Structure 1
Amino acid sequence: MIALALLGAAAACQSSHGNAGPIERSAAGLQQVPLTVRSGSRTHKFIVEVAGTPQEQATGLMNRMSLAPDRGMIFPFPTPRQASFWMRNTFIPLDIIFIRSDGTIANIAENTIPFSEDQILSEGPVSTVLELAGGRAAELGIKAGDRVEWAQ
């Protein structure tokens, strides 16, 4: 009960997005930042949680029951590397977007299968991975080669 009360209090203390600037912390305690995907002449805006530590990255979006269409999670790496993800303990399908160090999308694993332990790999070294709700990339026309920008 105490944990639920603390989570509720944390959610209530969040600032709103808009002219006030980036949201500081999510209910899970992660920093949140604005992120933009530029796809041709279209711009898609999201608020993403930053999984910045090894522990946060290991947990990711596990045990979450939903993800709003304008939300996501970003996994920055200190140096570019081949990235490998899986869906263990993940209840919702995700689009896993692999991003090169120049900000361009290398590849997208769309609508990944919840609870699957199959490896989902980047096509070459990447510096960041973005997770969105499953099907969102196709819905918005986001594709390899598009550019991702976020407050680091």
Structure 2
Amino acid sequence: MPTRNDLEAPHTSVLLHPLGRLLPLATISALIAVVGAASVGVAEPPRAAPPAEAPADGPKKESPKDDASAPKDGKSAPGARKPWPATVPTENDILHVKPQEGLPVETYTFFGEEFRCELCLDETSRSTGMGARSEFPDGTAMIFVHPSPRLLHYWMKDCLIELDIVYVDANGRIATMYEARRERLRQKGETLEAYEARLPRYSSKRQVKYVIELPAGTIARLKPKVGERVPIDWRALDARAK
């Protein structure tokens, strides 16, 4: 097939017709024009692509990201949820503490209700907390008083029940809150290090000095707010803490 250049610049002024006759130059020029147009054709402007049609069920939505339990930072965002029943230890479970008894008790009113509060004022009582207890009666609480403000990370080691955690700063205001779920107890054959490594940590997120633990569902029911002041004589508790 001849190229475009060949058709546009013929080298002869006459062309031999297949029937053997010489054709006039004007006729030859006309034939060349026809052949060129037929071979090259006319370029059409590109057609615009049709607009994309939206799916029948509307725009595609991204799948929500699973925030399954926030492994090492615990679970915040209190909500109405029925607490799981207490764990009943079996022969395969290992507990490292026994339920505390004989803690000092004070009665305080906060969040609009009166609570009978056990006080954890020393290292031993603070480290044991609600460990190994099978119930947390309504209207009771446990208050932890630390010697100085610090970033805290509570966990549910040896806990058989669920509970609510309220972190309170040195000014007596709520820093953050959690609904803490009970975790599977340490199993026979499981090292202490492995057990502790799998426990979620509930971070205070900033320096705090006090912690209030409450029966599960208390936060959802009474709806305290971050920044709210807890009307307890914290300085009196500081004087008793070790």
TM normalised by structure 1 equals: 0.74
Bigger shift: residues 113-122 or 64-73: 113-122
Larger strand proportion of the pair: 1
Post-superposition offset of 1:136: 0.6
2: CA distance, partners of 1:98 / 1:106: 5
Q: Structure 2: how far apart are the matches of 1:132 and 1:99?
A: 13
Q: Contact 1:33/1:150 (CA < 8 Å) preserved in 2?
A: no
1:109 to 178, 182, 185: 178
- Report the residue type matching 1:52 in the other structure: L
Q: Deviations for 1:25-46, whole angstroms, at most 9, x for unmatched residues?
A: xx811001122324xxxx2221
Equivalent position SS for 1:124: coil
Q: Name the CA distance, whole Å, in 2 between partners of 1:34 and 1:126.
A: 22
Does 2:212 align with 1:130?
A: yes
**Which residue number in structure 2 is paired with residue 96 of structure 1?**
165
Correspondence for 2:227: 145
1:65 pairs with 2:134: yes
User: Is the Cα contact below 8 Å between 1:35 and 1:148 reproduced in 2?
Assistant: no
* Counterpart Cα distance in 2 of 1:149 and 1:44: 12
Alpha-carbon displacement from aligned partner over 1:115-146 (angstroms, at most 9, x marks no partner): 26211110200010000011111101112122
Q: Tell me whether 1:33 sits opposite 2:115 in the alignment.
A: no
Q: Distance in 1 between matches of 2:105 and 2:232?
A: 10
Structure 1 alignment gaps of length 5 or more = 1-26
Asked if the contact 1:137/1:143 (under 8 Å) is kept, the reply is no
Q: Write out per-residue CA displacement over residues 71-119 of structure 1, whole angstroms, 9 at most, x where no aligned residue.
A: 0101111111111110011111111000011111011012x11126211
Distance 2:171 2:215 in 1: 24
Equivalent residue letter for 2:221:
E
Query: Which consecutive segments of 4 or more residues in structure 1 shift more than 6 A?
Result: none
Unaligned runs of 5+ in 2: 1-99, 185-198, 238-242
Question: What is the aligned residue count?
Answer: 121
**Alpha-carbon separation, structure 2, partners of 1:31 and 1:131:** 15
Q: Return the offset for 1:147.
A: 1.7
Q: Distance in 2 between matches of 1:150 and 1:61?
A: 21
Give the partner amino acid of 2:219.
A
Give SS of 1:56's match.
helix
Q: Please report the TM-score for the alignment, with normalisation by the length of structure 2.
A: 0.48
Secondary structure of residue in 1 paired with 2:127: helix
1:55 CA drift (Å) = 0.6
Higher helix proportion (structure 1 or 2): 2
Max radius of gyration: which structure? 2
Please give the alpha-carbon distance, in whole angstroms, between the structure 2 residues aligned to 1:100 and 1:79. Answer: 10
Alpha-carbon separation, structure 1, partners of 2:228 and 2:161? 24
